[in-house]
Structure 1
């Protein structure tokens, strides 16, 4: 279980780093289609290359793998990650970054609610307490209290909530289907699904218009590694070990990392109130693990 906790936590941290690089890519004039397409395309290529390398090893060949979930279901499930990218990056364009982050963080309660509605799995008291702390800390850490109401955009809020819902769906599906697949193959299939969906919505003009000769190649590789390779790999391995509810709480690590990156890399002013929110979120992630940590002590 401890391994699963660490993997999900690191996956969330990687996803938190992502938004800073996306913002830098936007500053250089690249579009939503460029960023999401490059992320999914390079991510799928990297994951498939890693899988084929792994499949040639003697250790992999020695394992007898019984596949139960059809490959096309994995690809369909992967569309959730493509939708997260599309909706979230569009949200960032329409509302302040701090508001976009708090909207995405709503996946925490959405994922627990989905588990309850679909699988009748009731959250524990510790999990409910952690969710309340995460939501309260998110309001502070995102800077929403310091953001003017007039700066809000209803379309942006809608895209942010859709991104949160898709993220919750991704967490739920990642932990419940295709767990018999090797982690690399499972991640590669899911990202392939995301890539197909994004290419349908945004035809991959960047592959032919010379954009890759510029800095899009650099940003595409960076964003794909931190947003498409590391999180799905770590989630595919970690979520089945600890469950969707705990994974959703640990995934809140994305916000503190995003705040720190904004302060250190983008040189944005991060107030004491926002750092207080970061501290509350970090403590909330520890809360549901207290019973497990005491048992290990």
Structure 2
């Protein structure tokens, strides 16, 4: 049970890392940068960092290979690279959604991956959700509505923005599902680097990286891009690739809901945005739901 507890902790930390991204992205938009520039720099720097770390570890530390593949390793690596399409599309769709609808609505739309992931887990992998998981998801969704401030403002929905938000949730669900079932025989760093390479490729296909020719290395975009790459591209995929196989898709979907309370906290302390009392109540509800869903694992670990 120690492995399950560690896996849950890694997934939780990965979600917390994701939670700070919206504040950084808003800073980039206020500085005048476009969707293509923000997503492109994030993916490129993330890919670069991961491959450098992987090559350093492989060259100097010489870890024992965990690969057990005897059929077609090249094909498996191509599949892992293809999985990177999903996190690449998550970034593009979610950042586009943030531009078109209020941030609170964008977060709510992204949170729909909770029930989508459990449906995918049940339909494709035949893992029936437990009653506790179902109740936890319902509670988290209710807490999400409070934490996002859904009842504190007049809402004018942009249908295009809603479409991109729901699409981001779907891509996120597919990423969670596929990353736990493909490429687990590869070293974790290599798997993460391959996935982000796929994300970078799909991003550059949609948004050709023309900004490379008009920006210098001291440009603020690269500074913000490095933070986005570290907290949104390097750490979460690696933590998820290690943690998700240990605890399963459904529990991973629940734990990764920690992204929302972190996002609300960052908006209050970093962006100086107003966060109402009922939003903090929603944050507490989500955190309690996450804690209660893992009490069984904590007791067994003791």
TM-score scaled by length of structure 2: 0.95
State the Cα RMSD in Å: 1.2
Q: Which residue in the other structure is 2:260 paired with?
A: 255
Aligned residues: 295
Q: Which residue in the other structure is 2:68 paired with?
A: 66
Q: Which residue in the other structure is 1:47 paired with?
A: 50
Q: Does 1:79 align with 2:67?
A: no
Structure 1 residue 58 displacement after superposition: 4.5
> Which of 3, 7, 14 is the equivalent residue of 1:11?
14
For residues 101-157 of structure 1, the C-alpha deviation after alignment (integer angstroms, 9 at most, x for no partner) is: 1110111111001111112211011101110110000000001111313x2111111
Aligned pairs (5 A) from 1:1-297: 1-60=4-63, 62-63=64-65, 65-67=67-69, 68=73, 70-149=76-155, 151-210=156-215, 212-297=217-302
For residues 269-288 of structure 1, the C-alpha deviation after alignment (integer angstroms, 9 at most, x for no partner) is: 00000000000000111122
SS in 2 for 1:30: coil
Structure 1 residue 296 displacement after superposition: 2.3
Rounded to whole Å, the distance in 2 between the matches of 1:209 and 1:295 is 56
Rounded to whole Å, the distance in 2 between the matches of 1:268 and 1:277 is 16
Q: Which has the higher helix share?
A: 1
For residues 175-196 of structure 1, the C-alpha deviation after alignment (integer angstroms, 9 at most, x for no partner) is: 1110011110000000000000
Q: Assess if the C-alpha contact under 8 Å between 2:110 and 2:168 holds in 1.
A: yes
Structure 1 residue 172 displacement after superposition: 0.7
Structure 1 residue 205 displacement after superposition: 1.0
Of residues 219-228 and 50-59 in structure 1, the stretch that sits farther from structure 2 once superposed is 50-59
Question: Where does structure 1 differ by over 2 angstroms across 4 or more consecutive aligned residues?
Answer: 62-69
Q: Assess if the C-alpha contact under 8 Å between 2:65 and 2:187 holds in 1.
A: no
Q: Assess if the C-alpha contact under 8 Å between 2:93 and 2:168 holds in 1.
A: yes
Structure 1 residue 18 displacement after superposition: 1.0
Instruction: Name stretches of at least 5 consecutive residues in structure 1 with no aligned partner.
Output: none
Rounded to whole Å, the distance in 2 between the matches of 1:238 and 1:178 is 14
Q: Assess if the C-alpha contact under 8 Å between 2:66 and 2:186 holds in 1.
A: no
Structure 1 residue 211 displacement after superposition: 5.6
Rounded to whole Å, the distance in 2 between the matches of 1:22 and 1:245 is 28
